[in-house]
Amino acid sequence: MAENILRVLNEYSGLFIQGIGYTLLLAFIAVTCGTILGTFVALLKMSSNVVLSFIGTSYIELFRNTPLLLQLYIFMFLLPEIGINLSPFAAVSVGLVLNTTAYISEIIRSGIQSVDHGQTEAARSLGLSHVQTLRMVVLPQAMRNILPALANEFVTDIKETSLASTFFVGDLMTTYRTVNGATFLTLEPLFIAGVIYFVLSFTLSKLVAYLERRLRA
């Protein structure tokens, strides 16, 4: 076994490194785009307009209450159906972004609500509009509060992206499948991928915890 692991590492280390790259890239795309879109969805949900609020809430509930893998499948097959032809990587990215958006919008909503209402009142009393108040006063303060949660979402997404391997997009689990296909070894490449996932997630979440303590201090 140990011998096989060394052999796999020796022959396929490039592939594993590529896998790490794609996995990190997918998680990065999901969290950055998800943060931008999630801000809008959070604002929709918090809107005093019943219709907008309903749209925001529906979006969040829909994506949080169905499995990510099912969503990815649907995007994979739905996008070509409606005339959008994307590479598997792009289609998976879209699916991950839309899914992550739902989770991040809830993080952002709680971040916005954690900003003292007096801040909004002070800004509005100066004559600033609702949008100006959000953009200049509330969101910058909310972002500070939610940065740790966003970073944790990134760590979660590193693991979630493994589902993307279903569509062979080059992530770490895709590497496993490629190595498995080439060598007929199963446990060895799985162990390697597992160790890499663990090291990535563990290090990053400890780093987040450290930065969070620094931010609080």
Q: Which is nearer to other proteins, 126 or 215 (CB)?
A: 126
Q: Which is nearer to other proteins, 80 or 140 (CB)?
A: 140
- Min dist CB 116 to other proteins, Å, is 7
- Min dist CB 129 to other proteins, Å, is 6
Q: Which amino acid would we find at residue 154? A: F
Per-residue tokens: 172: 């770490």
> Which ranges constitute the DSSP H helices of the chain?
2-46, 50-64, 68-81, 88-113, 117-125, 130-133, 139-160, 172-183, 187-216
Residue count, binding to other proteins (CB under 8 A): 18
Q: Which is nearer to other proteins, 85 or 125 (CB)?
A: 125
Distance CA 46, CA 109 (A): 8
- Min dist CB 126 to other proteins, Å, is 4
The answer to whether 59 and 102 have CB atoms below 8 angstroms apart is yes
Question: Which distant-in-sequence residues (6+ apart) come within 8 Å of 148 by Cβ?
Answer: 208, 209, 211, 212, 215
Residues in 159-188 at the binding interface with other proteins, rule: CB under 8 A: none
- Min dist CB 44 to other proteins, Å, is 22
Q: Which is nearer to other proteins, 83 or 127 (CB)?
A: 127
Distance CA 200, CA 13 (A): 16
Q: Quick one: residue 168, left, alpha or beta (phi over 0 = left, psi -120 to 50 = alpha)?
A: left
Q: Max alpha carbon distance in the chain (Å)? A: 71
- Min dist CB 39 to other proteins, Å, is 16
- Min dist CB 114 to other proteins, Å, is 13
Residue 213 interacts with other proteins (CB under 8 A)? no
Q: Which is nearer to other proteins, 126 or 207 (CB)?
A: 126
Residues in 89-148 at the binding interface with other proteins, rule: CB under 8 A: 116, 118-119, 121-129, 132, 136-137, 140-141, 144
Q: Which is nearer to other proteins, 92 or 115 (CB)?
A: 115
Question: Which distant-in-sequence residues (6+ apart) come within 8 Å of 63 by Cβ?
Answer: 71, 98, 99, 101, 102, 103
Contact residues for other proteins, defined by CB under 8 A: 116, 118-119, 121-129, 132, 136-137, 140-141, 144
